[in-house]
Structure 1
Amino acid sequence: MRLSELSEHSGVSTATIKYYLREQLLSQGRRITATRSEYDASHLRRLRLIRALIQVGKVPVATVREVLAAVDDESLGRTTRLGAALWALPRAEEADPQAPATREAQALVEDLLTELGWDFARANGALSPAYRSLVTPLTRLLELGHPVTVTELTPYARQMASVAGHDFDVLETLPDDAERAETAVAAAILREPVLLALRRVAQEEESARRYGP
């Protein structure tokens, strides 16, 4: 497809596409003439990802470049490639690692991972942004005097394990690791809010079932 067609299909203006090309967020199309290139489905998919990162996720261009570099790094193993792409995403400010509540939250997370038998997560520990993103809200809960226990968290974690299994069932239907990594990143930006909204809708339904509308 031509640049104008790529713009039409993606909803991204030609000027913005040219900017993404200059910033090397989008690979160059196949050169047809000195002034014309041809683009394919991979460009369209990448444009949709860039749009999700910048417009929905509010991710800075420099960080988008870092995320996409991980997505495209064929030297990485599948787990590392997915992890690197997701780890590059911006995240909320982390709790002070030296604060007593943070240390208590870290101990709670370690006990939870042990209970679940999630050895890979324990081995990566503080290296993982996902691990740290779990510690931070638990720290806030503890600081505000809201008790939380492994017993309370375990059923939620097991449900999330089922969700993760479904996530990877979907990823494994895709043809290559680059598309899997792209899809995982897009899901982190676009689908996680859907999961939260579904939880709240389910709570409304459960409340009505138990207590009446």
Structure 2
Amino acid sequence: MRLAELSKRSGVPIATIKYYLREGLLAPGRQINARTAEYDEDHLRRLRVVRALIQIGRLPVATAREVLGHIDDDSLGRTIRMGAALWALPQVPEPDEDDEFVQSARGEVEQLLERLGWSNAQALSTISPAYRSLVVGLAAFRRLGYTWDIELTLPYARLMHEVAVLDLNFVETHSSEAEKVEIAVLGTVLLEPVLHTLRRVAQEEEAARRYGFE
């Protein structure tokens, strides 16, 4: 298909597609002559992924480019490739290691992973943004004076492991390695808000069941 058809089918303006091409978010089309290139279904699919990352996920162009670079990097094994793509997404800042609440939360997270038997998560703890986010979140909760100990966290962690199993089962229904990594990223960018919202809807349902509407 030509650029005009790619624009029509994707709903993305021609000027925006040209911008994505210049920024390396979209591979060049097959050159027919000096002024014309031809694009295929892979371009259309990638264009939709780019739009999802930038418009819905609100990723900066540079971040989207880095994420897509990891998705396309077939020199990496699946776990590292997936991790690199996910870790390129916006993350929380590094915690202040001198903060007593951070120190306490970090010790709690280490105990949590040990109780769960999550040895791989323990091995990745020094580099994983997810581990860092967990520490920062628990530290912030404690800083506000709320008690949230390991016994309260354990059942949530076990439920999240069940969610992770469902996530990766879905990832494995896709054929190519690039698709597997791509859907893992899109699941994080697009579905995490859905899961958060489902939790809120469930809380509303449970609150109404317990306390009524008074």
Calculate the TM-score normalised by the size of structure 1. Answer: 0.94
Higher mean C-alpha displacement, 126-135 vs 56-65: 56-65
Q: How does 1:26-37 map to 2 (within 5 A)?
A: 26-37=26-37
Residues 1:20 and 2:26 aligned together: no
* TM-superposed deviation, 1:127: 0.5
**Unmatched 5+ residue regions in structure 2?**
none
Aligned counterpart, 1:92: 92
SS at match of 1:173: coil
8 Å CA contact retained: 1:46, 1:182 = no
Q: Secondary structure at the match of 1:127?
A: coil
**Which shifted more, 92-101 or 111-120?**
92-101
Determine if contact 1:29/1:37 at 8 Å carries over to the other structure: yes
Deviation at 1:166, TM superposition (A): 0.8
Report deviation, 1:69. Answer: 1.2
- Whole-angstrom distance in 1 between the partners of 2:106 and 2:8: 48
Considering only aligned residues, what root-mean-square deviation do their CA atoms show, in Å?
A: 1.4
Contact 2:3 2:39 in 1 (8 A): yes
Could you say which residue in structure 2 is the equivalent of 1:206?
A: 206
Aligned counterparts of 1:201 and 1:48: Cα–Cα separation in 2: 29
Aligned residue-pair number: 213
Once the two structures are superposed, residues 107-151 of structure 1 have per-residue CA deviations (whole angstroms, 9 ceiling, x without a partner) of 111111111111100011120011111111111011111111111
1:166 corresponds to: 166
The answer to whether the 8 Å contact 2:92/2:132 transfers is no
CA distance in 2 between counterparts of 1:124 and 1:167 reads: 20
Match of 1:182 in 2: 182
What percentage of residue pairs aligned between the two structures are identical?
56
- 1:150-196 CA deviation, whole Å, 9 max, x = no partner? 11011111111111111111111111111111111112111100000
- Give the SS at the match of 1:163: helix
Q: Over residues 61-106 of structure 1, what are the superposed CA-to-partner deviations in whole Å (9 max), with x where a residue is unaligned?
A: 2222211111111100000000000001112334212211111111
Counterpart residue identity of residue 150, structure 1:
I
Give the CA deviation at 1:21.
0.6
Residue aligning to 2:123: 123
Contact kept? 1:71, 1:82, Cα under 8 Å? yes
CA distance in 1, matches of 2:4, 2:203: 45
Q: Is the 8 A contact 2:50 2:64 kept in 1?
A: yes
Which residue identity lines up with residue 93 of structure 2 in the other structure?
Answer: E
CA distance, structure 1, for counterparts of residue 204 and residue 135 of structure 2:
28
Match of 2:62 in 1: 62
- SS in structure 2 opposite 1:147? coil
Output the TM-score relative to the length of structure 2: 0.94
1:131-150 counterparts in 2 under 5 A? Answer: 131-150=131-150
